[in-house]
Amino acid sequence: ATWPKVYAELAKHPSDEVRSNARQIAVTFGNASALDQLRATLLNPKAPAPERARVLANLAQIRDLESLPGILELAKAGGLRGPAIVALGQFDDARIAPLMIELILDQDKGVRPLALNNLAGRAESARAFATPDGRSIDGTAERVYAYLDLPAGTGDQAILAQVNQGKGQDRK
């Protein structure tokens, strides 16, 4: 049997887990309808959170650009915020770094380390933090340093230590 036929049968299976796993495999093989189903599940707030988290990871793994706007929204608030921030690390898009800066400055200290790791993992951010004087063209590094009351040019480990201690938690 060919994969499309196998998938068609598995998609009708009574087990949610079997159907979910089949969809994820179908996505790997580029099945458009399976991709549409995954995108719909990701954006469905009534879908079980563990299922949405698996879908999020799967869509990020294949770097599904049609899912990016939804993932950006999920990173802003809600139960999938952390996994969405991590998932955004798979994408190269100009909207991500500014969002990560907002999240570093967010009152929810649980997202700060995730956002900082995401930001630090981006080539453009790494260059900003790696300059000898700690300055960046767009002011990104300066905002983070000022927020955390750290001197310009502070390394990633020192920044992360401050974030983990909750430094700047009372500011917005």
pLDDT reported for residue 60? 94
Q: Determine the pLDDT at residue 84.
A: 96
- The DSSP result for 141-168, as a single string, is HHHHHHHTT--TT--HHHHHHHHHTTTT
Question: Helices 96-104 and 81-88 meet at what angle, rounded to 10?
Answer: 140
pLDDT at site 171: 43
Whole-number pLDDT of residue 82: 93
Question: Which amino acid, one-letter code, is at 134?
Answer: G
Q: Determine the 3-state secondary structure of 89 from DSSP.
A: coil
pLDDT along the chain (172 residues), means of 10: 82 88 82 89 94 92 94 94 94 88 82 85 58 54 67 63 58 42
Cα torsion through 100, 65, 51, 82, rounded to 10: -10
